[in-house]
A and B are shown apart, each in its own frame.
Chain A
Amino acid sequence: MVVWCPDWPVMGPQEGLPAGTAVAVFDHGVVLACNPSARADGVRRGMRRRDAQSRCPHLVVADHRPEADARTFEDVLVAIEGLSPGVAPLRPGLCALRVPGRKFYGGEAEAAAVIAERLVDLGVWDVRLGVADGLFAADRAARRALAQDVLIVPPGEAAAFLADLPIEALEAPDLVSLLRRMGLTTLGAFARLSPADVHTRFGSHGALLHRYARGLDPHPISRRTVPPELTAVLALEPPLDNAESVAFSLRTTAERFVADLAAHGLVCTTVRIEVDSVPHCANQASQREVPPGVLAGTRSWVHPRWFGATDLIDRVRWQLSAGVTGAVDAVRLIPDVVEPLSDHADSLFGGTPSDRVVRGIARVQGMVGHEGVLAVGVQGGRGPADRTLASPWGEQPGAVRPADRPWPGRIPAPAPATVFTRPSEAMVVGAEGQPVMVTGRGAVSCPPERFRSSSNAPWQRVASWAGPWPIEELWWDDAMAARRIARFQVVGVDGSAWLMVIENGRWFTEAKYD
């Protein structure tokens, strides 16, 4: 039996949009999947973005995210596994299983109806099932079924069912085009060729497809093993108020969590911590009958290497001290991302921070908070502050601008040694004391003669200056982000060099070359 949910990649992007919105998912600039409304407007698979948008201007364009598809399909797999064990996922949107319990459900059609009903309950409206002797025939049968319905090919009739299908059903474009030119337009015509001839002419892949066309399926369904339950839960009875005592009670749970993962040869690099708490008032009102806790906080934590038991306890402590009100009822450790242990084994010559350094930095994080300790790097950007990349120690930085692109308008090396986080207001004037301005075309109104680097710094004469480097950033964005600025390098007679920027006629000091 094959369960097919058509247009699965579109399911994620179209969630939350009004019904009837045309949505298409693009991969490398061509349509990978689209929903029925888009198809009604003429959008087809393999179409380029520009063509698709010209046929359907209101098309909602989404990028293909294979991981997200697989993750959402996981819910479907779990639902089917609840009815019958041993589901073989073929790809997101398509899975196969043996027809479950003929005696239990009363037949193939009834079993299919139960599965379809379960998936419709889950919110998957368009589900089609096919039942046949082999995987290929069942897959083809599912394609021909109606929505929320099943097409059953009786035992022994797979070859007859397949014989009428067009040759394109093989889904091997090169071979199909050749067979079409040879005058073979249906699977039946292909199946009538002698297997030995097909093998001689088309090789083993052709022979395999020929077996499919004859209704023989060499591949039995390989069932997936049900993923192990790795979430660790600490239930606290009675609920605890104090973050320290929760952290203390958590030790065994955290150690078990890490050991369970290690037993599967895995380590956890991203963990989600959920905390349930009981509000104070409810706790005092009825001592005997404690109401069940409500979810008080959830947060994902990322680790640069992997989580050990002490790391987990630290994260729980930080999360609790960051603001969970009420007494803690339960703590759940949910592994969000797990990776094979072998990818993270210590290399012979190091390369990862030593345990001593990691522990020491974790101690400082305990003093100043998780966001207080930063890992730094260089990223792309035009201003010196834009080029600094700082992310909390232990988290992978989010959107990083690549530094190896040209970044037109940026100041040439060397980089300033002091970069002011808050640019201070400066003044730059010409020979007659008039403020220096920059026109819209990047021309300087008069050469700068005197300047001061901040409002309380003394005035000094300009020894040399360079610029302007005009920049018009995000001009298409009407909101705050749009900026028109010009940068200057100004050297004073005392040898100090400054990076100054003019925006709307006001001067600021961005950095100092000291």
Chain B
Amino acid sequence: MEGRPAAQPVHTHPALNGLLQMQTGATYGVTAASLAALLMAGPSSEGAWCAVVGTDELGVEAAAMVGVDLNRVVMVPNPGEPWLEVVAALADVLGVVVVRPPVGQASPKDVSRLSARLRTRGSILVVWGEWPRCDARLGLTDVEWHGAGWGHGHLAARQATVQVSRGTAPAVHRRLWLPDVALGVRPAEVVSLRSIS
């Protein structure tokens, strides 16, 4: 669509403030389902529709707890051979498409055509898995679960370092409660890892 700015900022989950500002037409790679749900949560709370393609393993209850509105989520667990066409068709109309691509099947040519389509349609692609080219990649390190003991208690909260890397720039980190005991996601108060390194 002519006249539209190439990328517009999209509402992002407050826990990622200053770490990542999502933009329309962008592709984000994640390594964990909870990060995919976290990226869906921002636009979904603003009324965007989301699709999950290529997997039925995303825990919908966990996604709902992060803030994804399940009434506006569709799943295509087994898109089969035309999975790229399905992603493109969904990206035409929905705000966020989460895809778990089949291993080694995304050729750079298809990827660049898809990202051109994302830019014209103003949609966001979240890739859970391998992808040749991403605007930003999110990963989890130093995961630390709280609540479970040695045969007592139960998993209640988790602290993890979210690492966002863009291209060749140095990665930025933040320690997050993902989730905290009240099932919310918020930054954890710890010493900045950057000052240590």
Chains A and B belong together in one complex: yes
Q: Is the CB of B155 within 8 A of A489?
A: yes
Of B89, B140, B151, which contacts A444 at CB under 8 A?
B151
Chain A residues, Cβ within 8 Å of B77: 372, 374
Q: Is the CB of A417 within 8 A of B60?
A: no
Q: Does B6 contact A (CB under 8 A)?
A: no
Of B61, B85, B151, which contacts A367 at CB under 8 A?
B85
Q: Does A496 contact B (CB under 8 A)?
A: yes
Q: Give, as a whole number of angstroms, the nearest-CB distance from A318 to chain B.
A: 16
Q: Is the CB of A390 within 8 A of B149?
A: no
Considering only CB atoms, which chain A residue lies closest to B77 in the complex?
A374
Q: Which of B31-39, B129-137, B166-174 contacts A (4 or more CB under 8 A)?
A: B31-39
Q: Is the CB of A361 within 8 A of B59?
A: no
Of B76, B80, B150, which contacts A373 at CB under 8 A?
B76
Q: Is the CB of A377 within 8 A of B70?
A: yes
Q: Is the CB of A412 within 8 A of B59?
A: no
Q: Give, as a whole number of angstroms, the nearest-CB distance from B184 to chain A.
A: 10
Q: Is the CB of B143 within 8 A of A420?
A: no
Q: Does A393 contact B (CB under 8 A)?
A: yes
Q: Does A479 contact B (CB under 8 A)?
A: no
Of B34, B76, B143, B150, which contacts A465 at CB under 8 A?
B150
Given A374-B75, A417-B59, verify A464-B145 contact (CB < 8 Å).
yes
A363 to B147 alpha-carbon distance, docked (Å): 46
Q: Which of A138-146, A235-243, A352-360 contacts B (4 or more CB under 8 A)?
A: A352-360
A364 to B65 alpha-carbon distance, docked (Å): 28
Interface size of B by CB at 8 A reads: 54
A340-363 Cβ-contact flags toward B at 8 Å (1 or 0): 000000000000010011011101
Chain A residues, Cβ within 8 Å of B143: 494-497
Chain B residues, Cβ within 8 Å of A368: 76, 78-80, 82, 86
Q: Is the CB of B93 within 8 A of A359?
A: yes
Q: Is the CB of A415 within 8 A of B154?
A: no
Q: Is the CB of A418 within 8 A of B59?
A: yes
Q: Is the CB of B145 within 8 A of A367?
A: no
Given A368-B76, A374-B77, verify A465-B89 contact (CB < 8 Å).
no
Q: Give, as a whole number of angstroms, the nearest-CB distance from A503 to chain B.
A: 20
Count chain B CB atoms within 10 A of each CB in A420, A489, A495 and give the residue with the most.
A495
Q: Give, as a whole number of angstroms, the nearest-CB distance from B96 to chain A.
A: 12
A53 to B91 alpha-carbon distance, docked (Å): 60
Of A364, A444, A466, which contacts B76 at CB under 8 A?
A364
Q: Does A426 contact B (CB under 8 A)?
A: no
Considering only CB atoms, which chain B residue lies closest to A378 in the complex?
B61
Of A359, A361, A388, A489, which contacts B74 at CB under 8 A?
A361
A375 to B60 alpha-carbon distance, docked (Å): 11
A420 to B55 alpha-carbon distance, docked (Å): 10
B85-112 Cβ-contact flags toward A at 8 Å (1 or 0): 1100110111000000000000000000
Q: Give, as a whole number of angstroms, the nearest-CB distance from B35 to chain A.
A: 9
Those of B139-179 within 8 Å (CB) of chain A: 140, 142-145, 147-158, 160, 179
Q: Is the CB of B149 within 8 A of A464?
A: yes
Q: Is the CB of A387 within 8 A of B61?
A: yes
Q: Is the CB of A415 within 8 A of B61?
A: yes
Chain A residues, Cβ within 8 Å of B20: none
Q: Does B114 contact A (CB under 8 A)?
A: no
Given A489-B148, A497-B145, A513-B145, verify A373-B75 contact (CB < 8 Å).
yes
Question: What size tier do the contact residues of chain A reach?
Answer: 35 or more
Q: Is the CB of B59 within 8 A of A373?
A: no
Chain B residues, Cβ within 8 Å of A359: 93
Q: Is the CB of B74 within 8 A of A393?
A: yes
A418 to B56 alpha-carbon distance, docked (Å): 9
B48-80 Cβ-contact flags toward A at 8 Å (1 or 0): 010000001111111111000011111111111
A512 to B144 alpha-carbon distance, docked (Å): 14
Q: Does A491 contact B (CB under 8 A)?
A: yes
A18-31 Cβ-contact flags toward B at 8 Å (1 or 0): 00000000000000
Those of A458-491 within 8 Å (CB) of chain B: 464-467, 489, 491
Q: Give, as a whole number of angstroms, the nearest-CB distance from A369 to chain B.
A: 9
Chain B residues, Cβ within 8 Å of A467: 151
Q: Is the CB of A495 within 8 A of B65?
A: no
Q: Is the CB of A466 within 8 A of B149?
A: yes
Q: Does A511 contact B (CB under 8 A)?
A: yes
Q: Is the CB of A384 within 8 A of B70?
A: no
Chain B residues, Cβ within 8 Å of A413: 65, 183
Q: Is the CB of A360 within 8 A of B155?
A: no
Those of A400-434 within 8 Å (CB) of chain B: 411-421
Q: Give, as a whole number of angstroms, the nearest-CB distance from A254 to chain B.
A: 23
Q: Is the CB of A376 within 8 A of B153?
A: no
Q: Is the CB of A372 within 8 A of B76?
A: yes
Chain A residues, Cβ within 8 Å of B33: 417-418, 512, 514
Considering only CB atoms, which chain B residue lies closest to A414 in the complex?
B179
Those of A375-404 within 8 Å (CB) of chain B: 375-378, 384, 387-390, 393
Chain A residues, Cβ within 8 Å of B151: 444, 447, 465-467
Given A357-B93, A421-B56, A466-B155, verify A514-B65 contact (CB < 8 Å).
no
A371 to B141 alpha-carbon distance, docked (Å): 38
A495 to B78 alpha-carbon distance, docked (Å): 30
Count chain B CB atoms within 10 A of each CB in A363, A368, A384, A512 and give the residue with the most.
A368
Of A353, A393, A414, A419, which contacts B183 at CB under 8 A?
A414
Q: Give, as a whole number of angstroms, the nearest-CB distance from B126 to chain A.
A: 14
A466 to B90 alpha-carbon distance, docked (Å): 41
A494 to B151 alpha-carbon distance, docked (Å): 18
Interfacial residues, chain B to chain A (CB-CB below 8 A) = 32-34, 37, 49, 56-65, 70-80, 82, 85-86, 89-90, 92-94, 140, 142-145, 147-158, 160, 179, 183
10 contacts between A and B (CB under 8 A): A373-B74, A374-B56, A415-B61, A415-B62, A417-B63, A418-B32, A421-B56, A466-B149, A466-B155, A495-B160
6 residue pairs, one from A and one from B, having the closest CB atoms = A360-B93, A495-B143, A415-B61, A417-B33, A417-B34, A466-B148
